[in-house]
């Protein structure tokens, strides 16, 4: 029984890690969907507003078209009446000519003719008013059609500008990435030149080495144990470093925002005194001492950065004297601001 429990206890439960990974992916997916939904919401609102305005204008246009058709029908009826009155007038005039010899009949015919003529003039005036109304309606209808065409053109222009903006944003992003990559490559080239020149000046020494993109000095080159005051022997080494940096600064173009970051590191053994309550203060003070010295040699302060990492970025995680010595260091790194 004891042997069975021992084998069971040694099993590794991967399920919590798997659930955490799925939860993280789900949160990222929900965040991206939220951004996409918000963008679609604002775009839909703008397009819906344009479509509502277009719908209202279409309804108005239909109403005016119906009114125009009604007016045209009325005008046609009036024209038919006018034609009838003209026919009656012609018949009356024929009767007048026929009855002109009879004075009594002629008087009655004359009165009837005058009455018909008055009615004809009234109908003409009404017809002219209807024609004026129809003309006004035609003008309003034309104005509404022009307004509708302008709205459609504005909507098409807005959609075109949106597509052009998306294209420009994508193009600018690509160009920016290319420019950044070029700057990084250019800065890497100057960094390589600087490290090569510094290696040439300082020579091959075990306490000075290149680790990745950093130039590493053991702390003993510049400082006594537990101290942030530069040793007298540190001056010549830092003078060589300053000369190489000044030479590099004259080569790098002004538009590249480069800085030299000076990082202080300690070993894992704790320190606690009035001046340095912890390794944070000791590592930061050492980096600041190096930066201040470099400024006295003509380096611009805006090209220098001091950082303290304490014991939290070890090169060697072991707990022995050799590891302690390797972890007590000053690192120099040329990077972008």
Instruction: Taking residues 251-264, report their average pLDDT.
Output: 87
Strand partners, 261: 305, 333
Q: Please indicate, yes or no, whether residues 238 and 171 belong to a single structural domain of this protein.
A: no
Instruction: Check pLDDT > 70 for residue 44.
Output: yes
**Per mean pLDDT, which of 4-8, 95-99, 194-198, 275-279 is the most reliable?**
275-279
Instruction: Check pLDDT > 50 for residue 293.
Output: yes
How many domains are contained in the chain?
2
Q: Please indicate, yes or no, whether residues 123 and 24 belong to a single structural domain of this protein.
A: yes
Q: Please indicate, yes or no, whether residues 230 and 88 belong to a single structural domain of this protein.
A: no
pLDDT of residue 182: 55
Q: Residue 3 — very low, low, confident or very high, per pLDDT cuts 50/70/90?
A: very low
pLDDT of residue 103: 53
pLDDT of residue 201: 58
Closest CA to 311 of 281, 274, 273, 275: 281
Q: Please indicate, yes or no, whether residues 28 and 155 belong to a single structural domain of this protein.
A: yes
Q: Please indicate, yes or no, whether residues 221 and 317 belong to a single structural domain of this protein.
A: yes
* Strand (E) or helix (H) holding 304: strand 304-308
Please state, in angstroms and rounded to a whole number, the distance separating the CA atoms of residues 240 and 259: 18
pLDDT of residue 264: 97
- CB 289: neighbour CB atoms within 10 A? 22
pLDDT of residue 150: 82
Q: Please indicate, yes or no, whether residues 303 and 230 belong to a single structural domain of this protein.
A: yes
Asked if residue 62 is part of any domain, the answer here is yes
Asked if residue 194 is part of any domain, the answer here is no
Asked if residue 197 is part of any domain, the answer here is no
Q: Please indicate, yes or no, whether residues 54 and 160 belong to a single structural domain of this protein.
A: yes
Instruction: Check pLDDT > 80 for residue 162.
Output: no
Q: Please indicate, yes or no, whether residues 131 and 237 belong to a single structural domain of this protein.
A: no
Q: Please indicate, yes or no, whether residues 164 and 279 belong to a single structural domain of this protein.
A: no
For 222, which DSSP code?
A: T
Please state, in angstroms and rounded to a whole number, the distance separating the CA atoms of residues 95 and 89: 10
For 313, which DSSP code?
A: S
Mean pLDDT of all residues belonging to the chain? 78
Dihedral sign, Cα of residue 325, residue 330, residue 333, residue 337: positive
- Lowest average pLDDT, out of 25-39, 111-125, 185-199, 231-245, goes to 185-199
Instruction: Taking residues 202-208, report their average pLDDT.
Output: 63
The range of the structural domain enclosing residue 257 comes to: 204-336
Asked if residue 320 is part of any domain, the answer here is yes
- Domain of residue 214, CATH code: 3.30.1330.60
Asked if residue 245 is part of any domain, the answer here is yes
Asked if residue 258 is part of any domain, the answer here is yes
pLDDT of residue 330: 95
The 10s digit of each residue's pLDDT in 75-92 is 777 777 777 777 877 777
Q: Please indicate, yes or no, whether residues 37 and 167 belong to a single structural domain of this protein.
A: yes
Q: 300 — alpha (psi -120 to 50), left (phi > 0) or beta?
A: beta
For residue 127, what are its two tokens? 């017809």
Q: Residue 176 — very low, low, confident or very high, per pLDDT cuts 50/70/90?
A: low
pLDDT of residue 86: 76
Q: Please indicate, yes or no, whether residues 235 and 137 belong to a single structural domain of this protein.
A: no
- Domain of residue 82, CATH code: 1.10.287
Please state, in angstroms and rounded to a whole number, the distance separating the CA atoms of residues 238 and 263: 15
Asked if residue 93 is part of any domain, the answer here is yes
Asked if residue 199 is part of any domain, the answer here is no
Q: Is the pTM of this model over 0.85?
A: no
Instruction: Taking residues 151-161, report their average pLDDT.
Output: 79
For residue 299, what are its two tokens? 């380096």
Q: Please indicate, yes or no, whether residues 136 and 236 belong to a single structural domain of this protein.
A: no
């Amino acid at each position: 029984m004891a042997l069975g429990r021992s084998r069971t206890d040694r099993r590794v439960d991967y399920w919590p890690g798997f659930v955490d990974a799925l939860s993280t992916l789900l949160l990222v997916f929900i965040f991206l969907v939220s951004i996409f939904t918000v963008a679609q919401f604002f775009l839909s609102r703008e397009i819906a507003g344009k479509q509502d305005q277009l719908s209202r204008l279409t309804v108005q246009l239909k109403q005016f078209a119906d009114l125009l058709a009604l007016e045209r029908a009325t005008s046609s009826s009036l024209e038919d009446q006018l034609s009838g009155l003209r026919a009656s007038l012609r018949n009356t005039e024929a009767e007048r000519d026929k009855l002109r010899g009879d004075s009594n009949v002629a008087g009655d015919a004359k009165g009837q003719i005058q009455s018909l003529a008055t009615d004809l003039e009234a109908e003409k005036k009404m017809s002219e008013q209807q024609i004026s109304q129809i003309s006004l309606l035609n003008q309003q209808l034309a104005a509404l059609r022009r307004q509708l065409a302008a709205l459609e053109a504005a909507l098409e222009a807005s959609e075109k500008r949106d597509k052009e903006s998306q294209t420009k944003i994508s193009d600018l992003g690509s160009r920016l990435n290319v420019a950044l990559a070029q700057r990084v490559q250019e800065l890497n080239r100057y960094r390589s030149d600087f490290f090569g020149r510094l290696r040439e000046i300082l020579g091959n020494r075990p306490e000075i080495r290149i680790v990745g993109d950093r130039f590493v000095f053991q702390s003993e080159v510049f400082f006594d144990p537990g101290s942030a005051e530069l040793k007298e022997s540190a001056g010549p080494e830092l003078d060589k470093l300053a000369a190489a940096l000044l030479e590099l600064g004259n080569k790098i173009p002004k538009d590249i925002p480069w800085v030299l970051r000076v990082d202080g590191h300690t070993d894992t053994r704790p320190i606690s005194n009035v001046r340095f309550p912890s390794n944070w203060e000791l590592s930061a003070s050492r980096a600041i001492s190096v930066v201040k010295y470099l400024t006295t040699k003509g380096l611009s302060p805006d090209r220098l950065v001091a950082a303290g990492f304490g014991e939290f970025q070890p090169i060697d995680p072991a707990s022995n004297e050799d590891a302690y010595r390797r972890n007590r260091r000053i690192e120099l790194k040329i990077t972008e601001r």
